[in-house]
Amino acid sequence: MLLSEVMAQQTPLARVEPAWREWMERWPTPEVLAAASPADVVRAWGRLGYPRRALRLREAAIAIVERHGGEVPRAQDDLLSLPGIGDYTAAAVAAFAFGDRSVVVDTNVRRVEARLISGQEQAAPSLTRAEKDLARNLLPVVDHDAAVWNVAVMELGALVCTARAPRCPDCPVRGRCAWLLGGRPAYDGPARRGQKWHGTDRQVRGIIVQTLRDAHVPVDRGDLAPGRDEVQVDRCLAGLIEDGLVEPVGAHHFSLPGHDEAQAG
Same domain, 9 and 89: yes
| 57 lies in the same domain as 136 | no
Among the ranges given (76-85, 126-135, 188-197), the one the predictor scored with the smallest mean pLDDT: 188-197
- In this structure, the answer to whether residues 174 and 233 fall within a common structural domain is no
Are 90 and 80 a contacting pair, CB within 8 Å?
yes
CATH number of the domain where residue 207 is located: 1.10.10.10
User: If pLDDT is split at 50, 70 and 90, which confidence band does 263 have?
Assistant: very low
Is it the case that residue 265 has pLDDT exceeding 80?
no
Please state, rounded to an integer, the average pLDDT across all residues of the chain.
Answer: 91
Say how far apart CA 187 and CA 41 lie, in whole Å.
41
pTM of this structure: 0.81
**pLDDT higher than threshold 70 for residue 193:** no
In a domain, 81, yes or no: yes
In this prediction, residue 50 carries a pLDDT of 87
| Residue 107 confidence (pLDDT) | 93
- Over range 150-166, report the average pLDDT: 95
* 227 and 157 within one domain: no
Whether 92 and 62 map to the same domain: the answer is yes
- CATH number for the domain including 44? 1.10.340.30
69, pLDDT greater than 50:
yes
**Cα(82)–Cα(139) distance, integer angstroms:** 26
Residue 46: the pLDDT is 86
Residue 261 has pLDDT above 50, yes or no: no
Residue 90 CB neighbour total at 10 angstroms = 23
Express each pLDDT in 206-219 by its tens digit: 999 999 999 889 99
Please give the pLDDT value at position 262.
38
Residue 82 sits in the same domain as residue 161: no
- Into how many domains does the chain fold? 3
Which residues are tagged catalytic? 5
Residue 244 has pLDDT above 50, yes or no: yes
- Of all residues in the chain, the percent with pLDDT exceeding 90 is 80
Of 42-46, 111-115, 166-170, 171-175, where does mean pLDDT reach its minimum? 42-46
Over residues 174-186, mean pLDDT = 96
Q: How far apart are the first and last CA of the chain?
A: 40
Task: pLDDT band for 195, please (50, 70, 90 cuts).
Answer: low
Domain assignment present for 216: yes
Of 181, 209, 224, the domain-final residue: 181
pLDDT band with cut points at 50, 70 and 90 for residue 15: confident
Q: Using alpha carbons, select from 37, 51, 83 the residue that is nearest to residue 257.
A: 37
Is the Cβ–Cβ distance between 55 and 61 less than 8 Å?
Answer: no
Residues 155 and 229 in one domain: no
Q: Does residue 47 lie within any of the structural domains?
A: yes
DSSP line for 124-191: -SS--HHHHHHHHHHS-SSHHHHHHHHHHHHHHHHHTS-SSS--GGG-TTGGG-HHHHTT-PPP-SS-
Considering the domain architecture, whether residues 169 and 214 belong to the same structural domain is answered as: no
Q: Indicate if 15 and 91 belong to the same structural domain.
A: yes
pLDDT tens-digit profile of 96-145? 999 999 999 999 999 999 999 999 999 988 899 999 999 999 999 999 99
Domain membership of residue 196 (yes or no) is no
Which domain range does residue 137 map to?
107-181
Q: Is the pLDDT of residue 260 over 60?
A: no
Query: Do 6 and 78 belong together in one domain?
Result: yes
